[in-house]
């Protein structure tokens, strides 16, 4: 499986770019063969999460794999770090990537 994963990566001097399919919003998608999927597991996973698992092991429950480089297709393990959803949101706003919603949802009103 690792060999198949790395065959879809183009290493540059900085980012390692996922060149195969996308899962949505620009994130790379890696298909998990049915024969090794766990019960209830989807058929694909974000490529940067696969890279994290290959290099560092299992992703603790409740944590996300975030990008230092902000390149959603990057799978370079030195560009990845673990964090919560709150950490991801904070990182997004600190880097100026946040979008102020034009309409307040019930959830946003509760937060405010």
Question: Is residue 20 within 8 Å of 28, Cβ to Cβ?
Answer: yes
Q: Average pLDDT for residues 16-26, to the nearest whole number? A: 87
Q: Where are the domains of the chain?
A: 2-111
Does residue 1 have a pLDDT over 80? yes
Residue 35 confidence (pLDDT): 64
Does residue 39 have a pLDDT over 70? no
Residue 13 confidence (pLDDT): 94
What is the H or E stretch that residue 9 is in?
A: strand 9-11
The CATH number of domain 2-111 is 3.40.50.620: no
What is the chain's alpha carbon radius of gyration, rounded to the nearest angstrom?
Answer: 16
25/50: higher pLDDT = 50
pTM over 0.85: no
């Amino acid at each position: 499986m690792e060999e198949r994963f790395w065959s879809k990566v183009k290493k540059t001097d900085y980012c390692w770019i996922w060149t195969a399919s996308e899962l949505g919003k620009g994130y790379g998608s890696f298909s998990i063969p049915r024969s090794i999927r766990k019960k209830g597991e989807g058929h694909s996973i974000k490529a940067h999460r696969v890279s994290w698992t290959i290099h560092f092991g299992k992703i603790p429950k409740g944590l996300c794999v975030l990008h230092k480089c902000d390149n959603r297709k990057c799978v370079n393990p030195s560009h990845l770090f673990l964090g919560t959803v709150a950490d991801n949101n904070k990182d997004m706003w600190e880097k100026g990537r946040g979008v102020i919603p034009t309409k307040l949802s019930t959830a946003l009103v509760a937060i405010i």
